[in-house]
Structure 1
């Protein structure tokens, strides 16, 4: 399709054969004007699921056309050894958590030693007090009392040392648990990028890689989305973007349905120029409910004006510099005019002529 400038109800031109000069009476005519755009048709809501690194497709759990639900695992990337490594880290976290728990064997053993040391200290403290009292009463030698006091002091030191060991062991085990969890979190984060889940309830439209194939970094593994509703993603030349407005009608064709025309409505204009193509992207909601094929190419005409009454002249009467020969009585006079829309057949005149004027074309 080419840029349109369609005139409805074309009348026969008035031709004067005298001196081989053709004439035309300027008049208002219905005009349809459109801007050409090209692009592709896509689901109204769609997602390209991609790998965050170059990886092997380890598992492909769906096929094209399958119905899927949110959070369903669609594919798994990586290698079997990476899965094994993740299982090992899970086991390490479980073990570290078990060791760091209050009832763990390691901590319980220290608790038992602490309790025994406490009992020993309490007994030695009682003996030290008793022997000190006996020594004061001259019932036992002072050196015996001193020995008991030394044994009580040693028991206290051992008791306090075991308490410190318990705290140190508890902190060490908690640190190992934290370290294991951090390693698991890091590996899980990497792994999450290798487990492709569906963000929506929808359908699988396209699978680009099979199980056992290599998926390159940022290349799509599959295209999924919501079935039933579609949109056009179109590129409009930068010279035409100022004419595009929201809710304009779009007529489009796709090779999948060769020769059939469909309609859409502009619902998004992205105001950023794509430097590579010198074009702007616009989107249009497809009105037809037929089953389209995502990523099919389309050619479209965005209707700028439809059935508008405009002053029109045949393109063959327009001279260089936007001027025409205007008949003034029996003479022809060259006159400048202002124009807007043009194609190979017709020209819209915005100033310089009025309905009823007669213009001429010299053969």
Structure 2
């Protein structure tokens, strides 16, 4: 009787186990038949360059601190910050009444001495004229002319002019202020071309050459680059930092860059032409082993590859794949070797995103 009750209890359990096993088999079959949607692209050939990334500080090669040469009251200011000026353009005027009086007095002294010399030279009886007197007058005339020219220079220096072409970056004085000799009045900078100052480790010294291409990125949030070139390479290495100075020539005609900015720089060392290239986001990196998923019929095969140069979102493949093959660029995170896949076109992806 007891064995009969055990049999009745085991029979339902057996049915449950059988049904569970059948369910697992059906589920496994469904998983096997489920195709993973992926997006693919064709392996092509192209050019890829090698870069060294670092940062650079931008400097203006032409800049000038405009100072006073004479003391005086600022009568007028003709420019403001942000104004573009040409070389020799009038920036400000300093009161020069005292200097003009000195110029007039010096000019009068020159004329008096010249008249005296002319009078003596016209005398018919030269015996009454001593050679020492004539020489003294000649020396006095030269000294008076020098004094007059100095006074004229001070009058001219009351007209403050720009020594270079550029933009007024700073104005340090106001109209009506009293300016002392050598006080700063304006800071003028020319930013049509900028210098990018880069400090590279000593190991990179042999990889650089004059005229080498570089790319600058002023904004970390954008991929827009500015072409630059290596202008100067310092022949010495700083013993404290182990770096050497490199100066880049950066065109800036559109004035998008400003002196003092920090930028990201990529120096182009070498370029491999006509090599196999793939999107970098298609590469699977697992334990420093790189692989791509290649479309093989209805399946995706995992294939290990060897990488070369990387430039932005493109990477060179030196071994493991051939041009013309189809590789997975989206959806490969869910793949395994020989996974069943369904290739979705870019049009299907765009429609799904709408």
Q: TM-score, normalised by structure 1?
A: 0.48
Structure number having the greater strand percentage: 2
Q: TM-score, normalised by structure 2?
A: 0.49
